[in-house]
């Protein structure tokens, strides 16, 4: 990931607290949450669904009237262009100078990586 321009500390902390580790943010949602455009450009990826287990499957909100939508008005999609909230959390952590590689090496899940980053920043590491 290339060097990203710094964002104000308060904005970075607010964004980090919204990250959970399992979600893809659409470019529109990123803009709504005031993620800088240069960050969106750098972090945006096209993600592909896997179907071995549900955790690999990407769900999107279904348009009104779509009959194939399942519970919660979501449908499965094969590909989705978005920003992974774990990737966003990692970029924010790097801005704060955290050793992100350590968290990635010791965490079994994306959620745990994000939680460790949030905890480290809260504790002032």
Would the pTM count as exceeding 0.85? no
Work out the mean pLDDT of the chain and round it to a whole number.
85
Q: Is the pLDDT of residue 22 over 70?
A: yes
Specify the pLDDT at position 68.
46
- Name the pLDDT band for 13 (thresholds 50, 70, 90): very high
Domain ranges of the chain: 9-122
Q: Is the pLDDT of residue 52 over 50?
A: yes
Top-confidence residue, 13 or 46 = 13
CB of 27 within 8 A of CB of 40? Answer: yes
Let me know how many helices (H) and strands (E) the chain has, helices first.
6, 5
């Amino acid at each position: 990931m290339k060097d990203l321009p710094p964002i104000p500390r308060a904005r970075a902390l607010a964004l980090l607290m919204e990250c959970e580790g399992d979600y893809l943010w659409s470019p529109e949602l990123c803009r709504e949450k005031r993620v800088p455009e240069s960050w969106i450009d750098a972090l945006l990826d096209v993600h592909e669904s896997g179907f071995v287990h549900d955790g690999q499957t990407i769900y999107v909100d279904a348009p009104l009237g779509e009959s194939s939508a399942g519970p919660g008005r979501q449908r499965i999609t094969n590909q989705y262009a978005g920003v992974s909230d774990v990737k966003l959390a990692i970029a924010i952590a790097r801005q704060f100078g955290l050793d992100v590689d350590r968290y990635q090496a010791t965490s079994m899940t994306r959620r745990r990586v994000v939680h460790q980053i949030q905890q480290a920043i809260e504790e002032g590491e």
